[in-house]
């Protein structure tokens, strides 16, 4: 007859519905309900403690004195953590005081599975972060051959892992998205997300010194002939957040690469869900 749904036409009896590590989406909940499954076992969310360091930091809305800047890093990190549906412990901004910073580390380690700070890991800072990390735990690595984001630190505290993000806002955003976020997904036993990468011609000249891997900010555009290309969004300084906001992808230049001319082929990595 017509208008008949046969038993088993969707999923055969004995078939695997989902693989371990899958993030459950609304449509997945609907599928489980359609199969009569009332309960499933899931992994617990991780708790992440977040704080910024620096005497110069002010909250948005507060007046700036000479030498002050607004604390933007903590807000962009928290926004990305919320997209990951992670429980956040916001410890605020910590001044350049060794004892206050130590107390922030101790509290974060007691209450969280992972600790994320921004600032205080660059050479020349009133830098107690690495000193306290070595005192309370151990440093896994510090400084990477990437740009932006060279002064990135990773370590282990007694009860948690530590990610030390650079103080410059673009550097903090890139290192969180590229390094900290995949580690947090792994801690939640979540399946790794594949990066969407393309090889495209650059519409603009790109400046690059060999030695570090560059994540330059770019935007997908179409040429007059309809060819998909990538365009630099401009100033690539690690403190220039406006070009990050205008971008929808990274132009990834390898360590050995130098300058690229307009028309050269480059690797392009589309922004994932954290930056969309």
* pLDDT digit string, tens, across residues 172-218: 999 999 999 999 999 999 988 889 999 999 999 999 999 999 999 99
* pLDDT digit string, tens, across residues 21-59: 888 999 999 999 988 999 999 988 999 999 999 889 999
| CATH (residue range 197-270) | 2.40.340.10
* pLDDT digit string, tens, across residues 108-138: 999 999 999 998 776 555 568 888 998 999 9
Q: What is residue 122's predicted lDDT score, i.e. its pLDDT?
A: 64
In DSSP terms, 253 is beta-bridged to 214
The percent of residues in the chain predicted with pLDDT above 70, rounded, is 97
Report strand pairing: 197-202 vs 265-270.
antiparallel
Give the containing element (helix H, strand E) for 50.
Answer: strand 47-53
- Rounded Cα distance between 205 and 266, Å, is 11
Give the containing element (helix H, strand E) for 200.
Answer: strand 197-202
Determine the 3-state secondary structure of 58 from DSSP: strand
Nearest-CA neighbor of 235 among 227, 244, 226?
244
pTM: 0.89
Q: What is residue 126's predicted lDDT score, i.e. its pLDDT?
A: 53
CA trace torsion 115, 118, 123, 125 (10° rounding): -110
Which CATH number, 3.40.980.10, 3.40.50.2300, 1.10.10.10, 3.30.300.30, labels domain 47-187?
3.40.980.10
């Amino acid at each position: 007859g017509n208008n008949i749904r046969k038993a088993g036409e969707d999923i055969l009896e004995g078939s695997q519905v989902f693989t371990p590590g899958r993030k459950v989406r609304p449509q997945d909940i609907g599928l489980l309900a359609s199969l009569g499954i009332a309960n499933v076992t899931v992994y617990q969310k991780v708790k992440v403690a977040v704080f910024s360091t620096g005497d110069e930091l002010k909250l948005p809305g507060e007046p700036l004195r000479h030498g002050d800047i607004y604390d933007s890093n903590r807000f962009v990190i928290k926004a990305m953590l919320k997209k990951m549906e992670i429980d956040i412990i916001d410890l605020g901004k910590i001044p350049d005081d060794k004892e206050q910073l130590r107390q922030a580390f101790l509290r974060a380690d007691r209450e969280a599975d992972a600790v994320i700070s921004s600032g205080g890991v660059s050479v020349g800072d009133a830098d107690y972060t690495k000193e306290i990390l070595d005192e309370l735990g151990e440093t896994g690595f510090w400084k990477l051959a990437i740009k932006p984001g060279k002064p990135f630190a990773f370590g282990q505290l007694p009860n948690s892992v530590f990610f030390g993000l650079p103080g410059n806002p673009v550097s903090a955003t890139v290192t969180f998205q590229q390094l900290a976020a995949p580690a947090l997904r792994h801690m939640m036993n979540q399946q790794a997300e594949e990066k969407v990468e393309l090889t495209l011609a650059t519409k603009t000249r790109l400046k690059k010194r060999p030695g570090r891997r560059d994540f330059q900010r770019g935007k997908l555009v179409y040429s007059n002939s309809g060819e998909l290309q990538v365009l630099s969004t401009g100033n690539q300084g690690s403190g220039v957040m406006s070009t990050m906001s205008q971008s929808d992808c990274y132009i990834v230049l390898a360590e050995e690469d130098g300058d690229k001319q307009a028309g050269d082929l480059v690797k392009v990595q589309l922004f994932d869900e954290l930056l969309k």
